[in-house]
Structure formats: C-alpha cells, structure tokens
Structure 1
Amino acid sequence: MYRIALQMLFGDRGKYLGIIVGIAMASIIIIQQPSILLTMLSHTYSLITDISLPDIWVMDPKVRTSEDSRALLDTQLYRVRGIEGVEWAVPLYKGSLTVRLGNGELERAIMLGLDDATLIGGPGIMVEGNLADLRMPDAVIVDEAGARGRLARQTGRPGEHGIPLQVGDTLEINEKRATVVGIAKATPTFQSQPILYTTYSRAKNYAASERKLLSFILAKAKPGLDSEAVARRIAQATDLAAYTAGEFKSRSLDFMLHNSAMLMNFGFVVLVGFVVGTAVTGQIFYNFTLDNLRYFGVFKAMGATDRMLLCMILLQALLAGLMGFGLGSGVTAAFAASTWKGNEMKLEVGLPLLCASGLAVLLIVLAAAFFSARKVLRLEPAEVFKS
C-alpha cells in the first residue's frame, strides 16, 4: 500500500513539483530571515567577540551596548588595577573619527586604541603585517572589510571597484598622517564602519579634541577566581559598571532587541512565510488528494482501514516535505556561503536554526495532510462507485 501511495504521488508530477516548490519557498523564508536577524544581532557585540582575552569589561554605568561608549578618567584605570582579584587591567579607546581618503573624500571609521605595552585588544587574525608593527611611528592597522570597501582607493571610473588599501599606504585622520602597517580580519560592526587599530597614546593624538579618551577598561581575574565575583567587587569599589564578557554581550543584545523593531519586522516576515507556505502547500496537496479520491475509495471498499489510509497520506506529505525542505535549505546554505566572499555581513546557518526551521516545515506538512485526510476519512466507498 505504501508503494502505491508513492506511485500516486510521483504519478502527478505537476502537483508533486508544486508541493515541493511551495515548501521550498517557505523553507527559504523561514531559514534565511532568522539567519539574517541573528547575524545582525551578533554584530551588536562584535567588539566583545573579537577581544576575547579579558574576562571583565569596566565602563561608565550609563553605557548600554558595546557600540556605545562614554569616556572615563584615566585615574579609574589605576583604581581598577588596585582591586583585589584583578590580575591586570589595560585601557581601551573606542571612538568614531573622520578619515580623509586619497581622493579627498571623507569616511567615518571606528578607531580602537590599544594598550601601548601589551597591545591587548588587537585583532586576532592578521592578513598582512604584524600586530607589533603598531609601535612604529604613525602606525595603524585596518580591518580587511574596510580596506577593501569604504577605505579603498577609488579609481574615479564609474562601475569599477576601488583598489584595496595595502601595507604602506597612508591615510589622514583628523588632519594627521597615519600609515597602514597591517590588514586584519575583524567581525563587522552593527553599522559596518571600517575599523582602525592603533596604540592608546597615538589614539590620544588623533582624537586630541576630546578631553577624556578612556572608553573601556579591560581586566583579567586572577587564576582560580570567579570573574563574576571580581566584576561585582570592581563595581562596588569604583562605582563603575563592570560585567563579564558574557554579561556585556547579553546586555548589548537585550538593549538592541528592546529598542529596535528588528525582531518584530523579521518575525512578521517569517510568519508570513509560514502562513503562505501552509496555504499554498495545503491547497495543492488538497487538490492532489481530491484527484486521487477515487483510488482511496477503492482501497476503503477493499478493506483498507482508516489508519492505513491516514499513513498513506502522511507518507506522501512527509516525503514531499522532506524534498522541499532539503531544496530550500540547500538554496539558503548556498546563498549564505556566497556572502562569505564579500566584505560585509556574513550569514551563518547553524544546526539549531535548521532544526527549528525543520520543525516549522513539519507543522506545514502536517497541516496540509490533516485537511486532506479529513476528506478521505469521511469518504463513503459507495459514492465512488456511484460516480
């Protein structure tokens, strides 16, 4: 009986392909949109992700996300270093400065000023050059996406891509010279601005118009001590906010979710994809069942139980759903892979997202099978023979 059910499904190629395409389109929307949302949300704490060495981030109590920064007095650094349980603490400057390109155009870029002695907070992966080269005069390191994108040297010819920055090129930051000594990989920021790395003392020179420049204090708890307990101790002793890296990520993410409409917008698109997928797939599958209703009537007259007929319909629906979901997830994975060749947002399709999307597609398939099964289970065999 199951083989006959499959022959019925494959025999009507038009409706079979229609069901698969409908489920595939729903799968693409259900997988792709959450993937874009999760990628964008991960960029809200990209700075914390890239700077993985410190356990604790210390900042002004009014700072809400890693994209936000409020300057501290330099004396706060020494207070944090004196807290019991702190192994080391280093400064980090984070600010948005104006960069003048070779053709005179201006671009805003994020500058990170690293501790002069240790260079903690620097990029983990260098494409060209070395992190230690930041100690050279006027040295800066540029992230790869910025070097190939907004900071690239324009050719002046429409439609042509700019020439990526190379080691040895020069920039002008707030009317001061900067020499590119390295290209590094970095997670894009939420605003996708270029990222420049330099030393803390040199960042003071580039941002001389600002009175206070200490944006964050990066600290490490002594071995064997709980970083959360040390962070609470720092907060009590200094009246500053101190969070572990995980807490700071959660704080940044919560602020973005509660103060933007991204979750609602992407959720609405996913809901529309789910409803449309259910409607289209259910309608096509229902018409497929109606076309084969006489066969189900014959099976029922020959003694097939309702359970057997229901299993046949479920087999047809689940097989079509598996084919459609496989096609949709494959297309989405190929699209995500294509984004890794660019310089901006790189989509990731993880196993939890695929499992959740698969569950949503399963609900679509079961809904389609339910409406079709009702017609078959209520069918009287005599009606088939009368017609």
Structure 2
Amino acid sequence: MLRIALTMLLGDKAKYLGIVTAIALSSVIMIQQPAMLADMLAQTTGAITDIGLPDIWVMDPSVRSAEENRALRDTQLHRVRGVRGVDWAVPFFRGGQKVRLEDGETTQAQLKGLDDATLIGGPPGMVQGRLEDLRIPDAVVVDEAGAKGRLAVRLPQGGTRPLGVGDVLELNERRAVVVGVARSTPSFMSQPVLFTTYTRAKTYAVSERKLLSFVLAKARLGEAPEAVARRIERETGLKAYSSEEFKEVSLEHILKHTNMLMNLGFVVLIGFAVGAAVTGQVFYNFTLDNLRHFGVLKAMGASDAALTGMILVQALLAGFVGFGLGAGASVLQVAAAAGGMGPQPKITWHILAGSGAAVLLIVCLAALVSIRKVRRLEPGAVFKP
C-alpha cells in the first residue's frame, strides 16, 4: 500500500512540486525570521559576552540594558573597589564618536576605552596586530566588520579596501592610528567599534563631563558574583549585575520595549498561514484527482486505516522534502552572508526543531482534510457513470 501511495504522489509531478515548493518557501520564512531575531539578541548582549573576564557590571541606576549609557564620575570606581568581596575593578568607557576618514568622509562609530594597565574590556580576538599596541601613542584598534564596511578606505582608482594597520583616522580633531583589527560581536546599531585606552578615550570625548560608562569588577574567589553585586548596590547606591543577570535584563528590556518580537513573529505567522493554506489546497486537489484510485482500493477491501496511512505517508514525504529544501536554502544563504556587513542570521538547532515542528503541523492539517474526504467516500461511487 505504501508503494502505491508513493507512486500516486510522485506520478503527479506538477502537484508534488507545488506542495514541496509551498512547504520550502514557508520553511525559509519560519527559519530566517527567528534566525534574524537570534542575531539581534546576540548583538544586544555581545558586549557582555565578549568581555569574559569580569563577572560583575556596575552602572548608573537608570541603565536598563547593555545598549544604554549613563556615565558615572571616576570617583565611583574607588567606591566599588572598597566593597567587600570585590577582587578588582577597572573603568570602562563606551560612547558614540564621529570618525573622519583620510578622504574626508565622516561616520558615526562606537568608542570603547579599556583600562590602561590591564586592557580588560578588549575584544575577544585579534585579526591583525596586537591588543598591547594600544599603549602606543594615538593608537586605536578597529573591529573587523567596521574595517571592511563603513571605515573601508576608498582607493584613487576606484573601489575600496579594508582599513588596516597603519591607516590614520581622526576623532574629535585628534589623530588616531590603527594598530590592529579585532574580531568582536557587531554592535546592535551595526556601527564600527573602536578600542583604545580609557585615558585616551577621555581625550577623544572631551565634550562630555562624565566619562565612566561602566565599572567592570571581579568577585573574589569563593564569593558569588550575584551576592557581591547586591553588596555593591547597598554600599554605593549604584546598580550592579552579574554578567548573566545583565544579559537577562538587557534581553528582557529589548523584547519588552521594542516591536522586534512582534514584527518578526507576525512574519513567521504569515509564513505558517500561507504555507498551510497553499499546501492544504494543493494536497486536497491532488487527493480529488486520485479519488477514483482510493475508491477502487476501498472497493477491493482496503480499510480506512490503510488509506489514512497512505495519505499520511504522502503528506509526510512531501513535508520532509520541502523542509529539507527550505532549511538547505536558509543555511546556504547564511553561509554566503558570513563575514559580510549587515545582519548575520544565527540558525540554531532550536530554530530548526521549531520550524520542523511547524512544517509537521502544516502537512498534518493538509492530510486531515484529505483523510476526511477519503473516509467518507463510498466505494461504489467510482463505478457510477
């Protein structure tokens, strides 16, 4: 019976391809949109993830996410260092800065100032140069995405090349020499990221009165970061989170105060609805075209359970092939976009499992409509003139 079911399905190539195409397109939408959301959320917490050594972040009480910036006075650093359970604490600056390129073009970038002595707060990896070279006068390190994108150098003969070691930028009318290119998580606004020392960052941002964006601290051995963070809050009046707490707070803020989840979720819902409608319609028409075959099998003694199994096999096969094509196309698109500018969708097994379950529901709903038609079929109806 299963062999007959497959012969019926593959024999009608037009409708088989129609079902597979509808499921594949629906799968692409249901994979791509959550993958985009995963990338956006990863960018939201990317600064926390990249800086792995500190386990406590201290900030102004009004800060609600890692993307916000409410500067503190430098004296707050010493107050944090004096709290029991804090092993060490270093300053960290982050702020927007206009960058002028060698050809006179300007762009907005994110400037990060690292502790002068330890360079804690720097990028997780280097593509060119060394992070220690930031101690050279006027030195900055540029993130890889920014070096290839908005900060790329325009060539006289046309075209561009990535910004590299030795190139010169201008920040707030001050010279900045690129000494390295770093690998880091892109910022939420997809701006280039520049790294320099904390002291030098203050000279680039002289127009600001308060310049201490965050205090990065480490709990002493045997002390829970969460407990030390609560102690910092009680003794300084500042807000303090462990790294994991800060990630959760940042994600919660983004999801609650933006339409990101609603907009992407609506697109996924539309993809599911359209996929279910088109697949159901084409599969139902396929069943109607083969209704006489089902009637003959029923007249020969085939049970309703056997016919139901045939329809389910047909639907599941089409769903499996369609989902495979959709998932494959999504993965190829992500691979092609890897390393380039703009969003980088992140396809995880959770996304594939969720979209696969949605496709399974689509084909089951499509099969259910056809099953009801076949089960109500009178065997003698196909022999009537």
TM superposition shift of 1:271: 0.7
| Residues 306-331 of structure 1, C-alpha deviations (whole Å, 9 max, x = no match) | 11110110000001100000000000
TM superposition shift of 1:161: 3.8
Contact 1:170 1:177 in 2 (8 A): yes
**Equivalent position to 1:175, from 166, 173, 176:** 173
Question: Which position in structure 1 is the counterpart of 2:266?
Answer: 268
Tell me, in whole angstroms, the C-alpha distance in 2 between the residues paired with 1:340 and 1:78. 43
TM superposition shift of 1:151: 1.0
**1:83 aligned onto 2:83:** yes
Question: Which position in structure 1 is the counterpart of 2:183?
Answer: 185
Contact 1:151 1:194 in 2 (8 A): yes
User: Alignment partner of 2:332: what SS?
Assistant: helix
Question: Which position in structure 2 is the counterpart of 1:111?
Answer: 111
Compare 370-379 and 73-82 and name the one that shifted more.
73-82
Question: Which position in structure 1 is the counterpart of 2:62?
Answer: 62
Tell me, in whole angstroms, the C-alpha distance in 1 between the residues paired with 2:195 and 2:223. 31
TM superposition shift of 1:163: 2.1
TM superposition shift of 1:344: 3.1
Tell me, in whole angstroms, the C-alpha distance in 2 between the residues paired with 1:341 and 1:167. 19
Tell me, in whole angstroms, the C-alpha distance in 2 between the residues paired with 1:317 and 1:343. 39
Question: Which position in structure 2 is the counterpart of 1:212?
Answer: 210
Question: What is the root-mean-square deviation in Å for CA atoms of aligned residues?
Answer: 1.1
Tell me, in whole angstroms, the C-alpha distance in 1 between the residues paired with 2:230 and 2:150. 40
Tell me, in whole angstroms, the C-alpha distance in 1 between the residues paired with 2:127 and 2:343. 19
- AA aligned to 1:65 is S
**1:135 aligned onto 2:145:** no
Question: Which position in structure 2 is the counterpart of 1:18?
Answer: 18
Tell me, in whole angstroms, the C-alpha distance in 2 between the residues paired with 1:331 and 1:164. 29
Question: Which position in structure 1 is the counterpart of 2:242?
Answer: 244
Question: Which position in structure 1 is the counterpart of 2:148?
Answer: 148
Contact 1:149 1:162 in 2 (8 A): no
Compare 40-49 and 60-69 and name the one that shifted more.
40-49
**1:50 aligned onto 2:25:** no
User: Alignment partner of 1:178: what SS?
Assistant: strand
TM superposition shift of 1:232: 0.8
User: Alignment partner of 2:153: what SS?
Assistant: coil
Question: Which position in structure 1 is the counterpart of 2:163?
Answer: 165
User: Alignment partner of 1:95: what SS?
Assistant: strand
TM superposition shift of 1:343: 3.0
Question: Which position in structure 2 is the counterpart of 1:372?
Answer: 370
Tell me, in whole angstroms, the C-alpha distance in 2 between the residues paired with 1:161 and 1:304. 70
Tell me, in whole angstroms, the C-alpha distance in 1 between the residues paired with 2:334 and 2:351. 13
Tell me, in whole angstroms, the C-alpha distance in 2 between the residues paired with 1:156 and 1:255. 45
| Residues 178-231 of structure 1, C-alpha deviations (whole Å, 9 max, x = no match) | 111000011111111110000011111111121111000001111222111111
User: Alignment partner of 2:89: what SS?
Assistant: strand
**Equivalent position to 2:226, from 225, 228, 239:** 228
Tell me, in whole angstroms, the C-alpha distance in 2 between the residues paired with 1:338 and 1:244. 36
Compare 327-336 and 223-232 and name the one that shifted more.
223-232
Question: Which position in structure 2 is the counterpart of 1:331?
Answer: 329
Q: Provide runs of 4+ in structure 1 moved above 6 Å.
A: none
User: Alignment partner of 1:179: what SS?
Assistant: strand
- AA aligned to 2:87 is E
TM superposition shift of 1:91: 0.4
Tell me, in whole angstroms, the C-alpha distance in 2 between the residues paired with 1:304 and 1:200. 80
User: Alignment partner of 1:223: what SS?
Assistant: coil
TM superposition shift of 1:146: 0.8
User: Alignment partner of 1:319: what SS?
Assistant: helix
User: Alignment partner of 1:184: what SS?
Assistant: strand
Tell me, in whole angstroms, the C-alpha distance in 2 between the residues paired with 1:106 and 1:22. 46
User: Alignment partner of 1:42: what SS?
Assistant: helix
Tell me, in whole angstroms, the C-alpha distance in 2 between the residues paired with 1:218 and 1:140. 21
Tell me, in whole angstroms, the C-alpha distance in 1 between the residues paired with 2:346 and 2:81. 39
Question: Which position in structure 2 is the counterpart of 1:321?
Answer: 319
| Residues 85-107 of structure 1, C-alpha deviations (whole Å, 9 max, x = no match) | 11111000001111111111211
Stretches of structure 1 that go unaligned for 5 or more consecutive residues are none
TM superposition shift of 1:256: 1.3
Contact 1:188 1:344 in 2 (8 A): no
TM superposition shift of 1:156: 6.1
Tell me, in whole angstroms, the C-alpha distance in 2 between the residues paired with 1:189 and 1:341. 15
1:341–1:124 distance in 2 versus 1, CA, 3 Å: closer
Tell me, in whole angstroms, the C-alpha distance in 1 between the residues paired with 2:163 and 2:26. 42
Tell me, in whole angstroms, the C-alpha distance in 1 between the residues paired with 2:77 and 2:279. 61
| Residues 21-55 of structure 1, C-alpha deviations (whole Å, 9 max, x = no match) | 11001000111111112211221122112111110
| TM-score, normalised via structure 2 length | 0.98
Contact 1:45 1:253 in 2 (8 A): yes
TM superposition shift of 1:260: 1.3
Compare 218-227 and 360-369 and name the one that shifted more.
218-227
| Residues 320-378 of structure 1, C-alpha deviations (whole Å, 9 max, x = no match) | 10000000000001011111131332221110100000000000000000001110000
User: Alignment partner of 1:40: what SS?
Assistant: helix
- AA aligned to 1:37 is L
Tell me, in whole angstroms, the C-alpha distance in 1 between the residues paired with 2:238 and 2:337. 40
User: Alignment partner of 1:96: what SS?
Assistant: strand
Question: Which position in structure 2 is the counterpart of 1:200?
Answer: 198
| TM-score, normalised via structure 1 length | 0.97
Tell me, in whole angstroms, the C-alpha distance in 2 between the residues paired with 1:44 and 1:306. 54
